[in-house]
Structure 1
Amino acid sequence: MKHWEEIEDLLISPWSHHLNLILPNGIKVIGKLQQVDTMNGSIIHRIFPSLLAEELAVIESKHPFVSPAMLDFYGRASGMEIFRGMIKIFGFHFERKEGGAVYPPDWEYMNARFAFFSSQNKMNGDYYVFGGHKFQWNNETYLYIDNKTDKIYESQSLEDTSPRRMWETLDEFFLQEIDRLNKLHDSAGERTFKYEGE
């Protein structure tokens, strides 16, 4: 990823007045915590620690179609739940000897689900899911990558996998969406809008 430092700054700098804490298992949390051990409080972002070289090698071996940009991302963060879960970046589950398990949202489960619905929708192409987006109170979408072009797409819904939005690269997706969502949250990290039907 060419713009990781800029992406990380967009994620963290608007919330510099909030607690920025790295837990024993390496998960970075940004927000207001009442009890660190129970994760009570108001968490704006949860950023999972980077994968180790041997873990990245397992992914490359098991899923050789995962793009270099996505592997580069996992070398920096193994998953995310940002803006109170409005955007989730799925990851792989590895047990760690030090600091406990690292469990971002499960990439393999969500790809199996996406494969089923994309076949139902008769989508032609070679795609895999890397995340999800909650854009309405009762509607979430997939974020997926076209293996041939590395373009990023957002589906219409979890059941309708046809695209509703597109970005040219993974960097472009992160830069545009984080900037957009920063502008839709106040200094306390609360949404300044209501979901349709909320």
Structure 2
Amino acid sequence: MKGVVFTEFMELVESRMGLDMLDRIITEAQLPNDGAYTSVGTYDHAELVRLVMALSSATGLAIPALVHMFGQHLFQRFSVGYPALFADATNAYDFLSRIDEVIHVEVRKLYPDAELPKLACERPAPGELVLLYSSPRGFADLAAGLIDGCIAHFGESITVTRTDLPRQDNLHRTRFHMAVAAA
């Protein structure tokens, strides 16, 4: 997993819960590098899981809720840090539909060793989008947070229905059905 994910997680914890909390979870997670991450480095995703578990233990907040919150934060940070990726998108569906074929291509140019999830999209009807997340790492809660962050970024009223699917070929799979909310 790219270090930018780790550095952004630490930024979220520090900005919302304080430096003492960040220090506490780094200590509790017993990380091999004592929490020293660079944005361009590559690290074991299990280290992020350990940080989230430590944060859950310290705050009493559920792990899925924390990961979802992080996804929302991460989307906002990406929209600020990488504005060129947002230039051609006029709404959430446009942006989400471009992730695998445009955005992930650009990410791989910057980080050739990035291990990205597969995000297949289809438009079954006007006002609807279905996104199928599949990854060897089970971060569907992060994907859900990113989706909600995207919807908020574009200021749209879209309902999201999540369906966790059985694993297939050792991949975690989740279906996100989105529909424009009725006025």
TM-score, normalised via structure 2 length: 0.33
TM-score, normalised via structure 1 length: 0.32
Query: Which structure has greater helix proportion?
Result: 2
